């Protein structure tokens, strides 16, 4: 299934359904391709032209040049503020995003400068034009990262949070003989649900004290069987900035997993999307440090909670940890620093080391200047002197990702040197959800084989 097919499936579980290639409603309209972004682009460009034009000579000599200069200056200051002062993420704003931020600023300035020159009807038109330009420019940034693939995934009151997980009673379990996979002995019951269920749960940091946000948990149809198979577990991690629910919006996780389960008689891994950062713009580096006990939370608290509350396969071989960007780096870190918990990993567009921007700042902020403490948990440093022959992994990156592509190749080489069973995969695209959701869809088969679900 291509990216377009994934976009069509993206609103499943939110009260909207897709039948074949027909869109069920406006909530399913794609913001990434097709007619809606084309119409938005047309209206946005026409609105920008209208805001730029005036018959007044004074507009061309004073106000328009001032608006252009102020827009360029404010856009530059925003980039400096984000990259050098606020620093919500290790990497700077992409140039393309900075340009579209500048367009948004210009639209607002043009609107404000034109207000005194217009009557009420003109002011209303100017406001509408400003909003159309901002919407067009904002969606250009969205198209770069593909965070919101459809209208229904945009933040708003229509985004109902899934119900809290109902643990339910334990069922008898399906016996799988040695040397067999679950799929070898599974027979789909007649009354099995067609789709899995998405819920939320508070996974407390009993050992770590980590203040995690609610996890998102997807249980496949097979989990509802009266003779329940002990399914493998996939722990997914979001990027930074980010939140667990990102995997249900930009990642369209439900649709991907339900499609996989439908093609495999209801079988799929149990998926838990855990929180590795504690807040939208936090950065714990996924380690135990002055910034929090994130590693203990993800390596101990999360697995302990899953074992205590869900009927799943117990061994490390049946557990995979995966993530994107920061979450991909974190997945590799857990595979290296907590191999007793996770037997395989999926590192999508991760970095070659945990970072707050540079090595010096990272060591200072997280480890009080103790570089040896940093090197003790840095995955490439650990793999330089320790082997992991019982760990498998996928290192995946977009083929046009010039920032993370070289880092991922460095990670892959280090994993090979450490004796891991790893593969390197490139997907069409850059550092975006287009790569990560397609990567998850593609690698579910690999995960199922690694985790004993199928052969």
Q: What is the pLDDT of residues 75-91, one digit of tens each?
A: 889 888 887 777 666 66
CATH number at residue 291: 3.40.50.1820
Residues 118 and 172 in one domain: no
Residues 166 and 283 in one domain: yes
Look at residues 145, 177, 200 and tell me which one is the last residue of a structural domain: 145
Query: Residue 202 and residue 327: Cα distance in Å, rounded?
Result: 19
pLDDT of residue 6 exceeding 50, the answer is: no
Residue 308 CB burial class (10 angstroms; 0-12, 13-18, ≥19): exposed
pLDDT of residue 20 exceeding 70, the answer is: no
Is residue 26 situated within a structural domain? no
Is residue 316 situated within a structural domain? yes
**Residue 43: enclosing H or E segment and its boundaries?**
helix 35-52
Per DSSP (E only), the strands in 265-420 are 270-273, 288-289, 292-293, 319-324, 344-348, 392-398
Residues 436 and 354 in one domain: yes
Residues 88 and 137 in one domain: yes
Q: What are the angstrom distances between the C-alpha of 120 and each of 125, 127, 132?
A: 9, 11, 18
Residues 104 and 222 in one domain: no
Residues 185 and 117 in one domain: no
Residues 136 and 173 in one domain: no
pLDDT of residue 101 exceeding 80, the answer is: yes
Is residue 292 situated within a structural domain? yes
Look at residues 119, 145, 171 and tell me which one is the last residue of a structural domain: 145
Going across the sheet that includes 392-398, the strands are 197-201, 215-219, 270-273, 233-237, 319-324, 344-348, 392-398, 421-427
Residue 280: pLDDT band with limits 50, 70, 90: confident
Residues 204 and 331 in one domain: yes
pTM for this prediction: 0.85
Is residue 15 situated within a structural domain? no
Q: Calculate mean pLDDT across residues 26-39.
A: 88
**How many percent of the chain have pLDDT more than 70?**
94
For 416, the domain range is: 161-450
pLDDT, position 19: 33
Look at residues 102, 120, 145 and tell me which one is the last residue of a structural domain: 145
Q: Calculate mean pLDDT across residues 427-445.
A: 95
pLDDT of residue 310 exceeding 70, the answer is: yes
Residue labelled with tokens 């069922």: 171
């Amino acid at each position: 299934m291509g990216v377009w097919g994934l976009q069509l499936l993206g609103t499943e579980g939110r009260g909207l359904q897709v039948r074949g290639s027909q869109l069920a409603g406006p909530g399913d309209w794609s913001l990434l391709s097709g007619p809606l972004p084309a119409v938005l682009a047309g209206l946005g460009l026409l609105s920008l032209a209208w805001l730029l034009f005036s018959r007044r000579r004074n507009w061309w000599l004073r106000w328009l040049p001032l608006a252009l200069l102020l827009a360029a200056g404010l856009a530059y200051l925003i980039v400096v503020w984000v990259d050098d002062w606020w620093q919500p993420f290790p990497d700077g704003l992409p140039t393309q995003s900075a340009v579209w931020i500048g367009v948004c600023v210009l639209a607002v300035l043009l609107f404000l400068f034109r207000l005194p020159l217009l009557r009420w009807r003109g002011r209303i038109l100017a406001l509408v034009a400003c909003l159309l330009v901002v919407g067009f420019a904002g969606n250009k940034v969205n198209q770069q990262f593909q965070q919101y693939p459809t209208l229904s995934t945009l933040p708003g009151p229509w985004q109902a949070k899934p119900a809290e997980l109902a643990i339910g009673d334990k069922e008898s379990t399906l016996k799988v003989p040695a040397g067999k996979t679950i799929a070898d002995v599974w027979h789909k019951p007649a009354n099995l649900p067609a789709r899995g269920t998405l819920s939320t749960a508070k996974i407390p940091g009993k050992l770590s004290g980590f203040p995690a946000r609610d996890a998102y948990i997807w249980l496949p149809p097979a989990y509802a069987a009266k003779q329940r198979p002990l399914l493998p577990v996939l722990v997914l991690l979001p990027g930074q900035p980010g939140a667990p629910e990102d995997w249900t919006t930009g990642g369209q996780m439900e649709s991907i997993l339900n499609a996989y389960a439908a093609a495999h008689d209801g079988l799929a891994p149990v998926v838990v999307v855990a929180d590795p950062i504690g807040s939208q713009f936090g950065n714990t580096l996924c380690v135990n440090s002055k910034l929090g006990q994130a590693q203990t939370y993800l390596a101990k608290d999360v697995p302990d909670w899953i074992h205590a509350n869900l009927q799943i396969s117990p061994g490390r071989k049946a557990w995979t940890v995966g993530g994107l960007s920061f979450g991909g780096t974190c997945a590799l870190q857990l595979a290296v620093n907590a191999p007793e918990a996770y037997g395989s990993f999926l590192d999508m567009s991760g970095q070659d080391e945990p970072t707050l921007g540079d090595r010096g700042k990272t060591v200072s902020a997280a480890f009080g200047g103790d570089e040896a403490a940093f090197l003790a948990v840095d995955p490439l440093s650990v793999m330089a002197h320790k082997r992991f022959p019982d760990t498998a992994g996928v290192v995946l990156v977009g083929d046009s990702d010039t920032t993370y592509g070289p880092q991922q190749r460095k990670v892959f080489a280090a994993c090979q040197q450490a004796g891991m069973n790893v593969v390197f995969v490139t997907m069409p695209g850059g550092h975006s959800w287009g790569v990560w959701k397609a990567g998850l869809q593609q690698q579910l088969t690999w995960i199922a084989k690694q985790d004993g679900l199928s052969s």
